[in-house]
Amino acid sequence: MARMSAIEAAVHILKIEGFAAAFGVPGAAINPLYAAMKKLGGIQHYLARHVEGASHMAEGYSRAAAGNIGLCIGTSGPAGTDMITGLYAASADSVPILCLTGQAPRDKLDKEDFQAVDIAAIAKPLTKMAITVMEPARLPSIFQKAMYLMRSDRPGPVLIDLPIDVQMAQIDFEPDNYQPLPPSKPAATRSQAEKALDMLGGAERPVIVAGGGIINADASDLLVTFAELVNVPVIPTLMGLGTIPYDHPLMQGKVGLQTNDRYGNATYLRSDFVFGIGNRWANRHTGSIETYTKGRTFIHVDIEPMQIGRIFAPDLGIVSDAGAALQRLIEVAEERRAAGLLPDRSAWVAECQHRKKNMLRRTDYDQVPMKPQRVYQAMNDMLDRDTCYVTTIGLSQIAGAQFLRVYNPRNWINAAQAGPLGWTMPAALGVRAALPDKKIVALSGDYDFQFLVEELAVGAQHKLPYLHILVNNSYLGLIRQSQRSYDMEFQVSLGFDNINITEEDDAPAHYGVDHVALAEALGCKAIRVHKPEDFKAAFARAEALMEQYQVPVVIECILEPVTNISMGLDLNCINEFEDILCLDETLKAESDWVAAPKSE
């Protein structure tokens, strides 16, 4: 056995477990870890400007590719508390990240020592494990258990808190003897697959709801194969976007109160059978449970047993990894197809395709200041099929989910449940660190952009180029729209007369912050767009700047101050603001399906 410090053993384990990147901020209580990383090499470190930003970078890194686990590092005290938002976001969306924090010496933990906070207790509700290592000899086994937990069953984050004296203590450890533990994942049985296919066979208008668990299982190809075998339309959730390509004949749009498609909600309300795979029935997807479930039969496949029946009781629940379940379902479906036992669903599919073609929202607005819909039209027109979009929350994200076309898994990376402002920029940097050759496009409103804008400097320092689309209406747009129900508009304007913007400048002075100047001050490049006809040149210029300087490039799009984005309080009555689309009435006659604007 080799003799080494406990923290050197930890770095050996990280490397054996496949960690190649870390995002963090050094400090006194975590410096032994930094010393070990420098000594042993093999882990690229990205110096964040805010420790919360480091945690979001780690999540972006995890979500960029199957098998990735992002690593974020901070010192004692506020570094750990700053990362709590990142742990919450990762936990909410079932994303594994490893958070390592420094800590005061063990004999000082109960003595109100400087920055000695019980971060493990704080983080415990938001992690699969949160532990302060009190015995140096246990450090290797604790790290091994952390790797196992993050990858097993429903993925999620882990926090390991490291007192400085534990890090520096000498232990016996032999790296060659360390072996990663195989993760645990439940699998559907043959009989469960047969029962599910029996139930599906009796449905007239079924849909498959495809959740993020399919992406976690790297099983999008299996989903498409299964959907094609049984010829059933697919409705991806927000976390499941990309599980089936936008232009696939069976892709039938999103369902929900906000991030929905007109045709997706309409198809869902016509359905009589819902096959949920790797989804969690999120409230912004379902709306009222009564409307969502009325007159429908449900199957729910989920990797987490406690998720089955958590929102409502399905008619059949199957605890399984999504990939394992789909493999079983395909096996049974292929046998039944060969025997001629699968029903003909061509009429139902044609009806759904008719809605997809004719219930599109309008985007072809040309006025100045621009409407946000026009920005997403430009993105669809000018970005290729394999573009990876990164975004968090707000009207920018809601409209992006309504209008942007996603064709591949892991090409829609969205903090879906937690939705913390400021998440987009650091997450995009984490994605870039994981995928150096990928086209990455972040999407922010002005407030999300300002929350952790200092992280742009990380992209400049470490040469992490990506394109950041900033839609600027100088408002907290989603909150302003929400305040309509209170008949008020209060404390939601970001505008002020910026004394540093003159008539010669390209910026609207009353919009306040000069984002172009801000991005450039942080070492990046930025372009401002006022008119739709300028998009083509702006995108070309951004590509050239990224290629030349290898830094993030911001395209700021100046919007009209107020645009209300389609949303509602229930699936059957979404306010389109052009008109009220009450789908209970719409679905009575085919002639009503084509009443919506046809341009997209």
Q: Supply the pLDDT for residue 490.
A: 81
- How high does pLDDT run on average in the chain? 92
Cβ pair 525, 553 in contact under 8 A? yes
| Beta bridge pairs of residue 388 | 440
- In single-letter form, the type of residue at position 167 comes to Q
Dump pLDDT digits (tens) for 276-329. 999 999 999 999 999 999 999 999 999 999 999 999 999 999 999 999 999 999
Cβ pair 542, 527 in contact under 8 A? yes
Dump pLDDT digits (tens) for 66-108. 999 999 999 999 999 999 999 999 999 999 999 999 999 988 8
Q: Residue 583: is its pLDDT beyond 70?
A: no
CA angle 60, 434, 523 (to 5 degrees): 80
User: Environment class of residue 397 by beta-carbon count within 10 Å: exposed (0-12), middle (13-18) or buried (19+)?
Assistant: buried
Largest CA distance in the chain: 78
- Is residue 133 part of the annotated active site? The answer reads no
Dump pLDDT digits (tens) for 448-481. 999 999 999 999 999 999 999 999 988 877 778 8
User: Environment class of residue 575 by beta-carbon count within 10 Å: exposed (0-12), middle (13-18) or buried (19+)?
Assistant: middle
pTM: 0.93
Q: Supply the pLDDT for residue 594.
A: 35
Q: Give the β-pairing of 2-5 and 170-173.
A: antiparallel
Name the H helices within 370-423. Answer: 372-382, 395-403
Q: Supply the pLDDT for residue 596.
A: 38
Q: Residue 554: is its pLDDT beyond 60?
A: yes
| Beta bridge pairs of residue 574 | 568, 581
Reported as a pLDDT band with limits 50, 70 and 90, residue 381 is very high
Q: Residue 585: is its pLDDT beyond 50?
A: no
Cβ pair 295, 272 in contact under 8 A? yes
Q: Residue 261: is its pLDDT beyond 70?
A: yes
| Beta bridge pairs of residue 468 | 442, 554
Angle in degrees, 0-180, between the axes of helices 51-64 and 424-434, rounded to the nearest 10: 50
- Is residue 330 part of the annotated active site? The answer reads no
Residue with token string 């400021």 = 422
Q: Give the β-pairing of 573-575 and 567-570.
A: antiparallel
Sign of the dihedral through C-alpha 212, 213, 219, 222: negative
Q: Supply the pLDDT for residue 344.
A: 94
Give the integer Cα–Cα distance in Å for 204 and 446.
46
Q: Which residue of the set 13, 25, 117, 318 is catalytic?
A: 25
Cβ pair 496, 512 in contact under 8 A? yes
Give the integer Cα–Cα distance in Å for 236 and 243.
7
Reported as a pLDDT band with limits 50, 70 and 90, residue 593 is very low
Residue 440, SS3? strand
Q: Which residue of the set 51, 139, 255, 551 is catalytic?
A: 51
Q: Give the β-pairing of 170-173 and 297-302.
A: unpaired
Dump pLDDT digits (tens) for 102-133. 999 988 888 777 777 999 999 999 999 999 99
Q: Taking the chain, what is the end-to-end CA distance rounded to the nearest angstrom? A: 65
Give the integer Cα–Cα distance in Å for 522 and 531.
26
Q: Is the peptide bond before 78 cis (omega within 30 degrees of 0)?
A: no
User: Domain 2-177 has what CATH class?
Assistant: alpha beta
Dump pLDDT digits (tens) for 142-197. 999 999 999 999 999 999 999 999 999 999 999 999 999 999 999 999 999 999 99
321: left (phi > 0), else alpha (psi -120 to 50), else beta? beta
Q: Domain 190-358: which topology?
A: Rossmann fold (3.40.50)
Q: Supply the pLDDT for residue 114.
A: 77
Reported as a pLDDT band with limits 50, 70 and 90, residue 486 is confident
Cβ pair 435, 429 in contact under 8 A? no
Q: Residue 588: is its pLDDT beyond 50?
A: no
- Is residue 527 part of the annotated active site? The answer reads no
User: Environment class of residue 105 by beta-carbon count within 10 Å: exposed (0-12), middle (13-18) or buried (19+)?
Assistant: middle
In total, the chain counts a number of residues equal to 600
Q: Which residue of the set 421, 467, 545, 574 is catalytic?
A: 421
- Residue of 260, 255, 241 lying closest to 565 (CA atoms): 260
- Is residue 25 part of the annotated active site? The answer reads yes
Same fold, 2-177 and 190-358: yes
Ranges of each domain in the chain: 2-177, 190-358, 372-558
Q: Which residue of the set 229, 479, 492, 494 is catalytic?
A: 479
Dump pLDDT digits (tens) for 212-260. 999 999 999 999 999 999 999 999 999 999 999 999 999 999 999 999 9
| Radius of gyration over every alpha carbon of the chain, rounded to an integer in angstroms | 25
Q: Which residue of the set 14, 326, 360, 476 is catalytic?
A: 476
Report residue 370 CA to chain centroid gap. Answer: 27
Q: Supply the pLDDT for residue 1.
A: 74
Q: Supply the pLDDT for residue 537.
A: 95
Residue with token string 């309509």 = 484
Q: Domain 372-558: which topology?
A: Rossmann fold (3.40.50)
Q: Supply the pLDDT for residue 562.
A: 83
Question: What is the arrangement of strands in the sheet containing 388-391, beginning at the earlier edge strand?
Answer: 412-414, 388-391, 440-445, 467-472, 553-558, 525-529
Cβ pair 469, 555 in contact under 8 A? yes
- Is residue 421 part of the annotated active site? The answer reads yes
Q: Is the peptide bond before 369 cis (omega within 30 degrees of 0)?
A: yes
Dump pLDDT digits (tens) for 497-523. 888 888 777 778 788 889 999 999 999
